[in-house]
Amino acid sequence: MEREKIENCHEKEIAEHVSENESQTDAWAFDFKSRGTDSVAHDAADVSAGPGCDKDAEEYNMRHPKRGVALILNHQEFADVAPRRGSSRDCENLCAELEKLGFETRVHQDLTYIALSAVLTETALEDHSTADCIMVIAMTHGDSGYLHSRDTVYHTQELWLHFTGDMCPTLVGKPKIFFIQACRGTMVDSGVSVDVTDSYTTSYVLPTQADILIAYSTVDGTDGYYSWRNPRSGSWFIQALCHELQTHGRTRDLLTLLTFVCRRVAIDYQSTVPGDENMDRKKQIPVITSMLTRLVYFGQNQRV
């Protein structure tokens, strides 16, 4: 049986005048007007040779002249739902850490769906031949399979379908990294106690959706889970991500780094919602979906 339509989702947003020390979620009820992903058409196309990696390489080539673009889609204000207080802090922290790693950060605030789609399309059409990778970060309200723009909702997969190998030839064989800070449903996790005592001569064909990594701030499922955010210090997932990037961004491979992001969120954070026992003292665990075929190391900002 298919999941009930999104408009039947029951959402709980913490009261508008909640203390800044209390936790909020990145979920919000919305009416979804059916929209397919026809705007991201996939015609049959030959895979570009592109300056990716040698077929037998265990690590991605991360020594191009440029690190690459980091698109930050920060949604704090919305047309019909409550604002996401604390997201500006996430945005500032992300820019600081990603720029240290050599990324060209591009911040877009509170885009409408049409504007957001245009930004993704235009970025995918750019020439990324001299870049190591691309990164897209979306911070917004959401539910299972959907994210909020300023004025409506869209399918989560629209973030990355623009950058698959058949749509963006200059990123073939390169990491395409997506971080999503948003709720994926309305469930809460009470937790359980733990008692502690550039170019190559060899050609080959890749799947169009290879080399993509998507890290979600929380778990999906039949009902999906809340993703928590502090109005003063930002969301748990982005806080943990920035900490790991700052501490180990140049030494650990990306999947290892994200594993420690998961650990940090799981252990170090717990919701504070006094007066609502159903939302107080709750936990969260991020999810990593990887189609990477090699290790990603950001290393030093050295270029050949």
Q: For position 10, what pLDDT does the model report?
A: 34
DSSP classification of residue 225 = B
Catalytic residue check, 168: no
Q: 232 in a domain, yes or no?
A: yes
Helix (H) or strand (E) holding 180: strand 176-181
- What CATH number should be reported for the domain holding residue 262? 3.40.50.1460
How many folded domains does the chain comprise?
A: 1
In a domain, 267, yes or no: yes
- Residue 69 in contact with residue 134, Cβ under 8 Å? yes
* Mean pLDDT score of the chain: 84
Flag whether pLDDT at 15 surpasses 50.
Answer: no
Full residue range of the structural domain in which residue 185 is found = 22-28+49-189+205-290
Residue among 168, 183, 242, 262 flagged as catalytic: 183
Q: Which residues contact 251 (CB under 8 A, 6 or more apart)?
A: none
Closest by CA to 148, choosing from 220, 94, 236, 76, is 76
d(CA 189, CA 283): 5
Q: Per the domain annotation, does 223 fall within a domain?
A: yes
User: Is there a contact between 235 and 24 (Cβ–Cβ < 8 Å)?
Assistant: no
Q: How confident is the model over 149-166, as a mean pLDDT?
A: 95
For residue 198, tell me if it sits in a domain: no
Is residue 10 one of the residues assigned to a domain?
no
16 vs 86, more confident = 86
Q: Is residue 138 part of a domain?
A: yes
Q: Is residue 42 part of a domain?
A: no
* Whether 91 is catalytic: no
pLDDT digits over 69-104, tens only?
999 999 999 998 899 998 999 999 999 999 999 999
Closest CA to 62 of 164, 177, 162: 177
- Choose the catalytic residue: 75, 128, 141, 148: 141
Six token digits for residue 234: 């930002």
Residue 284 within any structural domain of the chain: yes
